[in-house]
Each structure stands twice: as C-alpha cells, then as structure tokens.
Structure 1
Amino acid sequence: MRIGTSATTRINTRQYERGLRRALGGMSDDVKRAVDRTRIDVQNEARRRAPVDTGRLRSSIVSRAENSGRSVGYVVGTNVKYAAAIEYGTDEYDIFPTNKKALYWPGARHPVAKVHHPAMPARPFIRPAVEMAEIFFRANLSQVRAGRGRR
C-alpha cells in the first residue's frame, strides 16, 4: 500500500465471532498444543540463529506462553543487555571513562581518554525465527490433528 492511500471496510463482528467460536470450539485444545509447540520451535530457531562467542546469548533465549481469555500466544526473548545491539546493530560511538580520567585494559600501550567503536551491522536472530512462526504453526497443527485422529 502506498503512503496516502487508504481503504475502509466493515465487518460484522458478531457473525465473525460466532463463526470463530464454532470453528475453535472443537479444536481449541489442538490449537493450544500447536501454539505451545510453535513457541518451542521459534525459541529453538532463535537459539540456532544466535551468534555464539561464549554461548551466553544463545542459552539466555527463553519463551513463555501468554494466555488471556480466548487468545493464546507466546513471547520469545532474552534478558542479555547486548542482545538488542546484535539483533539491530549499532551506530558508531565513542566510549568514555565513567569513574576515572582515562581508559586502560590489559595489553593496552597506555591509558586513553576515549575509544572509538565502529558501527556494528545487525545480525538478527529473533526476528527471522518469529517470521517462521506461521510455517511452524501450520506443521504443528497438522501433527496435533493427525495425532488426535489416531487415538
């Protein structure tokens, strides 16, 4: 859709909701199971795609289910502080000392007033995994339904 272009439509939400209730009524447990399996698949895909240096980022990727009323979903993420810099990249920036007048580290020739850090390109690992969610969900729903039919 181009910027400045819009479209309007009306949906009879009562009729849609009734149809949705009928459709999900018989398979809501199947859908919940498929969503839960999808959550694990997305988490594992994000871990697989995460760049590894020490393994801390990869092992920090977790997921949790989020159920609220009629909707079922999940969150996949990490609490590692540098994860966003890896996922989205960074601009170049300067590092300045916070407690002293200069920066120094083992192996440095001498203390310095600042260090210039070059831009870091993005290395997405969570977004590509989330983009695969629909593929995972369709496969998981088919497996869940097939398993239910064999009981």
Structure 2
Amino acid sequence: MSRFQEEIEKMKQRRERTIKQIAVFVEVEAKLRAPVLTGNLRRSITHETQSDENTSKAYIGTNVEYAPYVEFGVASKNIPAQPYLRPAIEENRDKIRDMIREGMSL
C-alpha cells in the first residue's frame, strides 16, 4: 500500500470514529430531552452508523410507534409536541461542528 493510500485509510478511520462519537452524543442528548412517563421512549432511543468508501452517516431514533406523536404532537387531538430528537441536534450544532473539526484534524 502506498503512503497516499495509507493516509486515505487513516482519514476514513478518523471519519468513522468521529461519526460514531457524534451518534453517541446525539443519542444521549435525545434521551436527556425525551419526556418520561414509563421510560419506554427514553430507553428505546438508539443509534446506528454506516460508512462506505466516501461517506459516513448516523441514524438516531426509536422504533416506538408513538414516538412521532411525542416529537411532533397531534393537533387534531390537542396533544402538544414535546420535541426531543430535533433539539438534540439543533441545540448542539456548534458542539457537533467542533467534534467534526477535532475528529478530522490531522
């Protein structure tokens, strides 16, 4: 493997490590913000990361069927929104940018 290919591989490893750190961070932030009645919604929030040759992605969410109703509310039933996923990202944009900057720096 050439030196150039070694550096590309190191960059991919940094990218994958960084996306995993961000995913864990956002998962924790979402859990802290999730409303709790039984704790089921909070416990169900998880993350998954995927990486290929050129990109890395993080998915943070839950498979609880009522989660969208909590996040967005239901106007027709007068149920107010109690966002927890979107604020976990939106209120931490600067921190996430710093994590990317730090994780990808040489």
TM-score scaled by structure 2? 0.78
Query: In the alignment, is the contact (CA less than 8 A) between 2:16 and 2:51 conserved in 1?
Result: no
Q: Contact 1:47–1:61 at 8 Å: present in 2 too?
A: yes
**Aligned equivalent of 1:121:** 80
Match of 1:86 in 2: 70
Contact 2:23–2:58 under 8 Å retained in 1: yes
**Measured at CA, do residues 64 and 132 of structure 1 come closer, stay the same or move farther in structure 2, by a change above 3 Å?**
farther
On the 8 A contact 2:30/2:84 being kept in 1, the answer is yes
1:49 counterpart = 2:8: no
Are the counterparts in 2 of residues 66 and 73 from structure 1 also a CA contact under 8 Å? Answer: yes
Provide the rounded CA distance (Å) in 2 between the counterparts of 1:67 and 1:80. Answer: 25
Q: Map of 1:12-91 to 2, 5 A cutoff?
A: 25=8, 27-91=11-75
| 3-state SS in 1 of match to 2:82 | coil
Of all paired residues, the percent bearing the same amino acid is 31
Equivalenced residue count is 99
Verify the 8 A CA contact 1:34 1:140 in the aligned structure 2.
Answer: yes
Q: Who wins on radius of gyration, i.e. which is larger?
A: 1
1:130 aligns with 2:94: no
Aligned residues of 1:62 and 1:78 also touching (Cα < 8 A): yes
1:52, distance to aligned residue in structure 2 (A):
0.6
More helix by share: 2
Unaligned runs of 5+ in 1: 1-23, 93-117
Report the aligned-residue RMSD. Answer: 2.4
For the residues of structure 1 that align with 2:93 and 2:19, how far apart are their CA atoms? 10
Q: Which has the higher contact order (CA 8 A, sep 6+)?
A: 2
